[in-house]
Amino acid sequence: MLGEIIAIGDELTSGRVLNSTSRFAAAQLFASGHEIIAMTTIGDDEELIGRTLRLALERAEFVVVTGGLGPTSDDLTNAAVSAALSRPSTLYPEILRKIEAHGRHLPSERRLAMEKLAWLPLGAHALHSEAKSAGYFLVHAGKPLFFLPGVPQEMEELLLETVITRLAVWEGEEVRQVRQKLFKITGLAESEINRRLAHLEGEGQRLKIGYYPVFPEVHLSLTVSAPESREAEAIITESAARVAALLGEDCYGEGDDTLEEVVGRLLAERGLAVAVAESCTGGLIAHRLTRVPGSSAHLIGGVVAYSNSLKEQILKVNPETIARHGAVSGECAEEMAEGIRALAKADLSLAVTGIAGPGGGSEDKPVGTVWFALADRAGARSFLHRFPGDRHQVQALAAQTGLDLLRRHLLARRAARTDSGQN
Amino acid sequence: MLGEIIAIGDELTSGRVLNSTSRFAAAQLFASGHEIIAMTTIGDDEELIGRTLRLALERAEFVVVTGGLGPTSDDLTNAAVSAALSRPSTLYPEILRKIEAHGRHLPSERRLAMEKLAWLPLGAHALHSEAKSAGYFLVHAGKPLFFLPGVPQEMEELLLETVITRLAVWEGEEVRQVRQKLFKITGLAESEINRRLAHLEGEGQRLKIGYYPVFPEVHLSLTVSAPESREAEAIITESAARVAALLGEDCYGEGDDTLEEVVGRLLAERGLAVAVAESCTGGLIAHRLTRVPGSSAHLIGGVVAYSNSLKEQILKVNPETIARHGAVSGECAEEMAEGIRALAKADLSLAVTGIAGPGGGSEDKPVGTVWFALADRAGARSFLHRFPGDRHQVQALAAQTGLDLLRRHLLARRAARTDSGQN
């Protein structure tokens, strides 16, 4: 179907905030077989919202509107919809009850403001049964309109959970069955992935490959469509297997997987506990590992040894090592890894020390120089990387690379064990 | 002036590429005193380009169009402009000569394709004298239209170098001056901020307040406009002072400030070094502090004591404390803070221990229960918070609250010194 996306918010038209939700919606809708005529971004202006909506209704078969649904006085979307489509604002008692139930602990002014969310244009259906977030659905002039919150996470959830399904149902019998699979890749540039998979794309319109750089990773979506569900399943299974084979270990996971989850899963499978010693990443690796529920089972903890004195005092790095090779060196990284492993009584440990910038670089060790070390009972090994970018990018790339080193190390160990089992 | 931005490209409406140029243009135009009515993104479709342009000409005072100017067959902007505005495509010999000069080294098919760039709608003026990049200017129906390449770098250069200047010249005397200020708030709900500032909004159209929840903070923009620059300055200065007074310490910073930067600045001003002991945040607080360039001057480091054994072994928390009160307790938090402070020889320390969920909660200590402690030479004090949300939200709120505790503690110390100085 032909769709239009409208994003509402003064923060967008003033350039203060980058509109990433429209792009997310366009990519997902496109992958589900829809075509986007236009993506329009306008400010919080009741009359303009109404005019834009009416224009979209003229030229598109469905419309997705994001933003302006909140409880504050500059959230004007509902009022604009009511006025533009002559659908008076109506109290939805069921939504009100849910807001009251969820908002019991809120101060009364806050609760009163929230009540605004229970007033929707006549004919609206709440999209989320739990009323966890605003968002509704409306059929006008025979066309489906979706109104979603502007907060990216809420918007993305509702789009994936409800909008795409409702559009498929809407299309009725003529719906083409669409199947999608997402591959997550780290340590490989988009152009290299493209090169590996280019020959797959020539295989006709029923197979589409999309590349989404999500720094510091690349995500790849594989979309197939077919008239029948069984056929779609068969094509996606077969082509996903080919993509997986072409990507090999560079693909760390699929769908909702995160790198830290995959590392946690591998640690759990191997029955190993890990500890981390971080300098330039400042705790980011440990934090990413603790984002995974239940991570306390395989993460003992870590040390953020930002100063040399902490490296020496807690991690027992030899002061001579730092004097001779510098704190950013393979030698120091290995001693940090050995130190945290002994201190935390961990099976496996990871250490990172580098120069995140903007200062601190030299000709020998420019900004972006990062040493990693892994230690287990077989000893420690170190790895050197040079990352491009600013301080935040170097930190993010270093954390990502550290986690990926753990992942590849654990994969190799598993493979080794399987091999020896076969002998 | 009232402007409209139109971005053209199938790569944008399919979601493959994120449209960042429109946002750049909006931010720069806004900063130059213009207001953007709408930002529209459409595919490479001749008829749709024409219609969108005509609509923009109806409602805006100037239009900036990006993309679709290249030499390939899917670059349709010029053809669309010619058709929509009845301005026949015309050969510009001067541009052709420059293209020939620049393209001498190109293969002949490529050079032929480049010649397409010398055909522009009648009345166009090339924006770039060097013909390094495409881009032209056209006056239609008394309004200036700018056509820029879609490549971000070329577009951004032309916008800054030519579009903004030409608009200023165009406006002559009638320009309205716009001034904006951004306030960053933590520890206060959007509705509460709204309540404090509501009476300011009644003061006429020249003052606009926008609320942007950027979890876990709220950002607030104050925008004023006036015919004269001096008047705009006076209004923004006066109203910003009133907003700042109403927000008090809950406003941690302005503009590009981040909470970790403000904490770093306060530490530097006081000449204090800090260390952090984290359990449930897993390193996030230390990491946020290290995001700030130069943070090694006031951050010694930290320990991620995720397991009880690390809490006891490195931080010297008394095992009895954990046995009697649990690891999530004010007592444990205080001992963690004292422990890291002694270990790192820090002036000030922060400790966090809590239940991020989804497991591990109890009736007494539900998920979201987080204890904080601050320690300095005067001793340790602990604080209890209960956060809503899932694991990631609890971790983010705990890190934010920890940093904010540091900030408020440092503010109070500064105030105390000032007070005693007055005595």
User: Strand, coil or helix: what is A311?
Assistant: helix
d(CA B333, CA B325): 11
CATH H superfamily, domain A2-174: MoaB/Mog-like domain (3.40.980.10)
Q: Is residue A277 within a helix (H) or strand (E), and if so which, with residue range?
A: strand A274-278
Judge whether A12 and A41 are in contact, CB under 8 Å: yes
Over residues B20-72, the pLDDT tens digits come to 889 889 988 887 778 899 999 998 889 999 999 999 999 999 999 999 888 77
- Tell me, what amino acid is at B306? Y
- Please report the residues numbered 168 through 187 in chain B whose beta carbons come closer than 8 angstroms to any beta carbon of chain A: 180, 182
CA distance to partner chain A, nearest, from residue B330 (Å): 20
CA B140 → CA A30, A204, B61, B85, B145, distances in Å? 35, 44, 11, 8, 7
> What residue segments make up the domains of chain A, in order of their start?
2-174, 177-254, 259-422
CA torsion, ordered A302, A305, A306, A308, to nearest 10 deg: -170
Report H helices in B248-307.
259-270, 284-290
Whether B177-254 and B2-171 are alike in CATH topology: the answer is no
ipTM higher than the 0.95 cut: no
- Please report the residues numbered 265 through 304 in chain B whose beta carbons come closer than 8 angstroms to any beta carbon of chain A: 276, 278, 280-287, 289-291, 293-296, 299-304
| A166 CB burial (10 A radius; 0-12, 13-18, 19+) | middle
Over residues B275-329, the pLDDT tens digits come to 999 999 999 999 999 999 999 899 999 999 989 999 999 999 999 999 999 999 9
Q: Is residue B108 within a helix (H) or strand (E), and if so which, with residue range?
A: helix B108-115
CATH H superfamily, domain B2-171: MoaB/Mog-like domain (3.40.980.10)
Instruction: Kindly identify which residue of chain B lies nearest to residue A291, measuring between CA atoms.
Output: B392
Over residues B102-127, the pLDDT tens digits come to 777 777 777 777 788 888 999 898 88
What is the longest distance spanned by two Cα atoms in chain B? 88
Q: For residue B350, what are the contacts with CB-CB under 8 A and spacing of at least 6? A: B274, B276, B277, B285, B337, B372, B373, B374, B402, B405, B406
Taking the alpha carbons at both ends of chain A, their separation in whole angstroms is 57
Q: Which one, of A200, A291, A317, A204, lies nearest residue A247 by Cα?
A: A200
Instruction: Kindly identify which residue of chain A lies nearest to residue B356, measuring between CA atoms.
Output: A293
d(CA A305, CA A327): 11
| CATH architecture, domain defined by A177-254 | 2-Layer Sandwich (3.30)
Task: Record the tokens describing residue B131, joined without a space.
Answer: 């013909």
In tens digits, chain A (423 residues) has pLDDT values of 899 999 999 889 988 788 889 998 998 888 777 889 999 999 999 999 999 999 999 999 999 999 988 887 788 999 999 999 999 999 988 888 888 887 777 777 777 777 888 889 999 988 876 555 688 999 999 899 999 999 888 888 888 878 887 887 787 645 566 677 889 999 988 788 888 988 887 666 577 777 767 788 888 888 777 777 788 889 899 999 999 999 999 999 998 899 999 999 999 999 999 999 999 999 999 999 999 999 989 999 999 998 999 999 999 999 999 999 999 999 999 999 999 999 999 999 999 999 999 999 999 999 999 999 999 999 999 999 999 989 999 999 999 999 999 999 999 986 555 444 433
Task: Record the tokens describing residue B258, joined without a space.
Answer: 């981040």
Judge whether B259 and B400 are in contact, CB under 8 Å: yes
Helix %, strand %, coil % for chain B, to 5? 45, 25, 30
Secondary-structure class of domain A259-422 per CATH: alpha beta
* Mutation site for A-interface testing, chosen from B2, B6, B17, B23 by largest number of A Cβ within 10 Å: B23
Judge whether A166 and A137 are in contact, CB under 8 Å: yes
What is the predicted pLDDT for the residue at A61?
Answer: 94
Residue B11 touches partner A, C-beta closer than 8 Å: no
Q: Which long-range contacts (CB under 8 A, 24 or more apart) does A293-297 make?
A: A293/B357, A293/B358, A293/B359, A293/B391, A294/A264, A294/B359, A295/A260, A295/A264, A295/B282, A295/B306, A296/B306, A296/B307, A297/A268
Task: Record the tokens describing residue A293, joined without a space.
Answer: 């529920």
Task: Record the tokens describing residue B269, joined without a space.
Answer: 């001003």
Residue A263 touches partner B, C-beta closer than 8 Å: no
Judge whether A39 and A99 are in contact, CB under 8 Å: no
* Mutation site for A-interface testing, chosen from B290, B349, B350 by largest number of A Cβ within 10 Å: B290
- A contacts of B20 (beta carbons < 8 Å): 18
- A contacts of B16 (beta carbons < 8 Å): 27, 210-212
- A contacts of B296 (beta carbons < 8 Å): 306-307
- Tell me, what amino acid is at A159? L
Q: Is residue B180 within a helix (H) or strand (E), and if so which, with residue range?
A: strand B177-185
Bridge-partner residues for B35, per DSSP? B2
Tell me the pairing of strands A89-91 and A177-185.
Answer: unpaired
Residues listed for chain B: 423
Cis peptide before A216 (omega within 30 of 0): yes
Q: Which one, of B387, B396, B352, B355, lies nearest residue B372 by Cα?
A: B352
d(CA A366, CA A264): 32
